[in-house]
Amino acid sequence: MRKVFTSIVVSLFIVFTLGAQVDRSQRPEPGPAPVIQLGEFESFQLDNGLTVIVVENRQVPVVSFQLTLDIDPVFEGESTGFVSMAGSLMREGTTNRSKQEIDETIDFIGGSLSTFSTGMFASSLTRHQETLLDLMADILLNPSFPEEEMERLITQNKSGLATIQNDASAMANNVARAVAFGPDHPYGEITTEESLDNITIEQIRQYYEDHFKPNVAYMVIVGDMDVEEARQVMEEHFGSWEPGEVPSRTFPTPQPPEGRRVAFANRSGAVQSVVMVTHPLVLTPGHEDAIKVSVMNSILGGGAFSGRLMQNLREDKGYTYGARSNIGTDRLVSRFTARTEVRNEVTDSTVTEILGEMHRIINEPVEEADLQLTKNFMTGSFARSLESPRTIANFALNVIRYDLPEDYYATYLERLNAVTAEDVQEMAARYLNPDNAIIVVAGNQGEVAETLIPFSASGEVEFFDAFGRPVEEVALMPAPEGYTAETVIERYIEALGGRSVLESVEDISQEMTASTMGMQLQVSLHQKAPNFSMQKMEMGGMTLQQQVFDGEKAVIVSQMGRQEFTEGDEFEQFKMQSVMHMELAYEEYGITKELLGMKLVNGQEAYKLEVHYPSGRTTYDYYCRETGFKVQSVSDESKSIYADYREVDGMMVPHQMTQQAGPQTIEMTLDEIRINSGLDAGLFVIE
């Protein structure tokens, strides 16, 4: 449906002038950096090496506990994903409690508890802290890692991975990581279905045994607890945690490429491209350049609406709704990334503009007014962050973990205020590499890939799959001599039962079971000639959504309300989708088609047709060479897969269908179908 983007900015300035007249022709001089009064924290260490940080806050009767392991990353190889899974699996049962008992305990006290590969987080009301700490200690010290839960998580993760091939944003993220950090660094590893299949319960248990040690752990307590009580409860619940040696690892530091590279991931049928310009860099937490780099990045595109990328690509060119850049810090290696989404036809122009802005901030001093505006924005953001006790806790953790000066955050605004235009230009020259960057694009290969060749130092575009694995550019195979789009469509019509059979169908009713994100849905679809349709989606007897097209208007009724369309793109799409066997009526509705060639789809050769609708919409439809059946249809909005064709009243009907739209996948099974049952026209009316 139509996406509505609304940005409302309300500014109210009230100036009281008493006595002397204000000279508004002069820009006020910035005042001195305000003095920051950080909240207090205290820390201590247990005999087993566990470092505890306490930020007392008595305003509300709530306490939280965050455990963080300070360990080197693990290179997972062919079993990529097992480290993350080890963290998730810790919460799935202990030698004393089942997953259900853990969940019930957390629900009973109204708390929260999550585990991850480098620690855990839990919170509750103060009166339930003993129950919470007992549960945390049991999970931390006695995880059972049930194998059946591991298999469930693997299946769940595979379901999530299946959506990535239809999600250009996720594809670009994977390719950017894989190419920027490389296959020999843990930051460049991407989880795949194949790597999930290689995970064993022994790997997960070994990871826990090797890394969950108190001597490399920090426990941050925030809330209704003082340091003496913290010392008592930490000793009681975690004093028996045995210390031990933790593996230390080193990895080669990824470097920017020699000359620019272009990395492309194909998202068939896309009308937009996800564009990223990225490269690795080294900037450690607390580095003397960190604040200056942050100012430089904010001017370029980090956070503020006034960022140059946003002003250029959105306000000036109108290419996008948003464009941002980011530079993070990391003990090993970090990355610069500029990112946006634009129309296919301006993808190459967008890359030109991003690289141009990178060069401009390197070569030209920033205007003093722009610099001051950015510093003001950053000052306000920092001041607002201090309202949260958790901010103070994170500051304390960083100071201790990274051995920062004790006044590092107290003097933050002073150092921010001291950043000059010369500093910004120096940081840009030191940390930005526009001529040695990786240009990552996920989008329509046929329309976009060749336009990116001029940006590549090698004159080549490198192709990757959705998980960052290199692939050869797969050219379409030629169709047999004499084959046309009309030939393919006629074969499809014959495969379904023939033109006379399809033309004799007056109405169709289908009842389906659908599953998505662990939920079971019931879907009813009714169609009546010439172009009436009604679709209802239910769960547990409750209607979630109903869509109706009565030939003149389209209506959607859901829990969010009612929408009605009598014109526009949504109306045209409803109208086309309501026609039974649209392939019979392409000419009548002004739809054109072109046979592009053949490619493998699920291991079978399939004809690829490019289909253009009068509304401007394009789909790519694939028809199996052997059977003639349609097996897949791809558009910018979604991807549909058809399988398990069976004969019903002389007509072949797919009984298995999968629809992917963005990150969501719906798998549908046809339970019942009725043909020419005499549907009443009243079915297609919503009052």
454 and 560 belong to one structural domain: no
Tell me how many domains the chain contains. 3
pLDDT confidence of residue 1: 29
Q: Is residue 32 part of a domain?
A: no
374 and 445 belong to one structural domain: yes
The CATH number of whichever domain residue 629 belongs to comes to 2.50.20.10
pLDDT confidence of residue 39: 58
pLDDT confidence of residue 3: 29
511 and 431 belong to one structural domain: no
Neighbours of 586 (CB within 10 A): 17
Instruction: Name the burial class of residue 566, with classes exposed (0-12), middle (13-18) and buried (19+) by CB atoms within 10 angstroms of its CB.
Output: exposed
pLDDT confidence of residue 34: 54
Quick one: CA torsion of 368, 371, 376, 378, rounded to 10 degrees?
-170
Q: Is residue 508 part of a domain?
A: yes
493 and 441 belong to one structural domain: no
pLDDT confidence of residue 85: 96
173 and 222 belong to one structural domain: yes
The answer to whether 191 and 84 have CB atoms below 8 angstroms apart is yes
User: What are the respective helix, strand and coil percentages of the chain, to the nearest 5?
Assistant: 35, 30, 35
pLDDT confidence of residue 304: 67
458 and 332 belong to one structural domain: yes
Secondary structure, 3-state, 430-486: HHCCHHHCEEEEEECHHHHHHHHHHHCCCCCCEEECCCCCEECCCCCECCCCCCCHH
571 and 422 belong to one structural domain: no
The CATH number of whichever domain residue 53 belongs to comes to 3.30.830.10
- Could you say which residues of the chain have pLDDT below 50? 1-25, 27, 663
pTM over 0.85: no
